[in-house]
């Protein structure tokens, strides 16, 4: 499979999980589906790639090998199709996991789906920005619930 194909497949897979998270009922089965078929599968793909890069079993398709000890080494890795795909899958997995946490936390705190959607979208598009915004918004309700 080409790096372009793997990149697109990971994107579509993560997007399907995000659509499920945002719009389908969030029962235990749906959340387990997102966690194990969404997040875990992205994590497995990342694990296979990183182990392959570090052991030399998978060629990243660019100059140099995986070197996480220097900025120049990381830049060299990300300058390859395999390295960029690896980094993107990392983002997809962690952003989806973070989106799941936000959705579950928002459900527990009684926030409507309409309120949740902008935070989920921000997390999908710019992970830490969405998480940071959610942490600010949830604070008042979280404190109120702990006082009960």
Q: How many domains does the chain have?
A: 1
For 34, other C-beta atoms within 10 Å of its C-beta total 23
Local structure of 59: helix, strand or coil: coil
pLDDT at 89 over 70: yes
Q: What is the pLDDT of residues 102-123, one digit of tens each?
A: 999 999 999 999 999 999 999 9
| pLDDT at 76 (0 to 100) | 85
Computed over every residue of the chain, the mean pLDDT equals 92
Contact 21, 98 (CB under 8 A): no
Distance CA 24, CA 113 (A): 10
10: containing domain:
3-147
The enclosing H or E element of 12 equals: helix 3-23
User: Could you report the per-residue pLDDT of 51-87, keeping only the tens digit for each?
Assistant: 998 888 988 887 766 677 889 888 888 888 999 999 9
């Amino acid at each position: 499979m080409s790096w372009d194909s793997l990149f697109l497949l990971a994107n579509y897979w993560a997007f399907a999980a995000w659509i499920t998270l945002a719009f389908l009922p969030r029962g235990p089965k749906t959340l387990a589906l997102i966690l194990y078929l969404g997040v875990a599968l992205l994590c497995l793909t990342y694990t296979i790639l990183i182990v392959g890069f570090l052991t030399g079993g998978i060629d990243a398709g660019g100059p140099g090998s995986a070197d996480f000890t220097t900025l120049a080494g990381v830049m060299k890795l990300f300058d390859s199709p395999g390295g960029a795909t690896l980094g993107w899958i990392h983002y997809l997995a962690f952003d989806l996991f973070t989106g799941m946490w936000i959705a579950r936390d928002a459900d527990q705190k009684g926030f409507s789906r309409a309120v949740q959607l902008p935070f989920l979208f921000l997390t999908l598009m710019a992970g830490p920005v969405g998480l940071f915004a959610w942490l600010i918004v949830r604070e008042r309700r979280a404190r109120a619930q702990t006082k009960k």
